[in-house]
Amino acid sequence: MKNPPSLHSVMCLTGNHHFLRERRLKRLLATLEGAGRSTDWVDGSEKGAVSEALGGGLFFSGPTQYVVINPQHVPAELILEHHGSKSESVLILHYEGKVRANSKFAKLIEKLPHETFESPTQWQAAEFATEFVKGEVKASGYTIDPKLAAAIVSMGGEDLGMLSFEIKKAILLAGDEAKVLEPAHFKALAPLAEVQMDPIFKALGARSEKMMAKALDKYRATSVDDPTIPICRSLGKRVLLWICAVSLADQGVPPDDAAKLMGQSPYYYRKEILPRAHRWGAEPLRRLIRVLAESDRLVLSGSLSPWDGLTCGLLRVCRSVSV
């Protein structure tokens, strides 16, 4: 029995994104086991364990794949020797975390088939999750409006496991005939996902009291539950980006370097983040983040009218900077 196509005698899975890394491992094992192979787990920190496993194939009914945890402790020579062999045994080097640059293990995996699954920075998490939603939907043979994908992440959170589960439920509701996922298919998230936050984001970027009042009224009118928390969390992420951008600019950090420090693409940073940050300015942004934090606290403390506090606070700050 030969290894299935695209699979190798040695494969590496690394990265600190637990969900994506573990999902890839499960799918890989399912592919191998579907070809009639066995799976065994080996701890690379135990001296001689991998060598012993590779030499013990007679105890199994057929070819085996060995998932090696702590693979950084396995001698590189042994791994490279197996990689160059025609053995039917497969070593899956499963490293949980980010591989330290220039380490011996980092240099080793450069020579091997390798997949890495890194978690995004805090600033990239929402965009990363949105792209995940679009990719999952597309891989299932469906399509979704990018704005709906972003709304689902904005309201449902950035946990990819939860998002994957919601997508599966939506596809079941959509059925085979409907190839476009709509808000109604996301029943648990529908009341939130149907409401787009674009008008609020645009009002914030424009620093317009009139636009903000109109956007907030429309949002509240179409929300089933009090939307204070979702708005505070979504706006808070943007405002924090702008605050960081202003701070770095005041320190004389070049835009491209600032973008790297914040985990943003230089183009997006120059085009979207920095202009809005400069337009608002440090002190108004600090007032804005205080409004959002206070409104969040009002909800958590059981206040009767957190929405009124949020609305008044946002309009007050917008009014203070209106030209």
| Domain C-terminal end among 51, 86, 116 | 116
Contact 193, 148 (CB under 8 A): yes
| Domain C-terminal end among 172, 193, 214 | 193
What is the enclosing helix (H) or strand (E) of 29? helix 18-34
Q: Has residue 283 been placed in a domain?
A: yes
Q: Has residue 39 been placed in a domain?
A: yes
Give the pLDDT score at 2.
Answer: 43
Q: Which two tokens stand for residue 110?
A: 């450069």
Contact 193, 151 (CB under 8 A): yes
CATH code assigned at 151: 1.10.8.60
pTM score of the predicted model: 0.60
Residues 108 and 132 in one domain: no
Residues 106 and 133 in one domain: no
Residues 239 and 312 in one domain: yes
Contact 195, 226 (CB under 8 A): no
Q: How many domains, the chain?
A: 3
| Domain C-terminal end among 166, 193, 220 | 193
Give the pLDDT score at 4.
Answer: 44
Residues 245 and 170 in one domain: no
Q: Is 306 exposed, middle or buried (0-12, 13-18, 19+ CB in 10 A)?
A: buried
Domain that holds residue 275: 198-321
CATH code assigned at 33: 3.40.50.300
Residues 167 and 239 in one domain: no
CA distances from 165 to 62, 66, 159, 169 (A): 35, 29, 10, 6
Q: Rounded to an integer, what distance in angstroms lies between the CA atom of residue 193 and that of residue 204?
A: 20
Residues 204 and 298 in one domain: yes
End-to-end CA distance of the chain: 74
The SS3 of residue 322 is coil
Give the pLDDT score at 189.
Answer: 57
In degrees and rounded to multiples of 5, residue 97 shows phi and psi of 135, 180
CATH code assigned at 224: 1.20.272.10
Following CA atoms 100, 106, 109, 115 in sequence, which dihedral angle do they give, to the nearest 10 degrees?
A: 30
Residues 154 and 111 in one domain: no
Which DSSP symbol is given to 269? I
What is the bridge-based pairing of β-strands 114-116 and 90-96? unpaired
Give the pLDDT score at 188.
Answer: 55
Residues 205 and 316 in one domain: yes
pLDDT digit of tens for each residue in the chain (323 aa)?
344 445 688 999 999 999 999 999 999 998 888 888 889 999 999 999 999 888 864 455 568 899 999 999 999 999 999 998 888 889 999 999 999 988 999 999 999 999 999 999 877 888 999 999 999 999 999 999 998 898 888 777 788 888 888 888 888 888 877 788 888 787 655 444 444 677 898 899 889 999 999 999 988 887 767 888 888 888 988 899 999 999 999 999 999 899 888 877 788 888 889 999 999 999 999 999 999 999 988 888 888 788 999 999 999 999 998 75
Q: Rounded to an integer, what distance in angstroms lies between the CA atom of residue 182 and that of residue 143?
A: 9
Contact 113, 84 (CB under 8 A): no
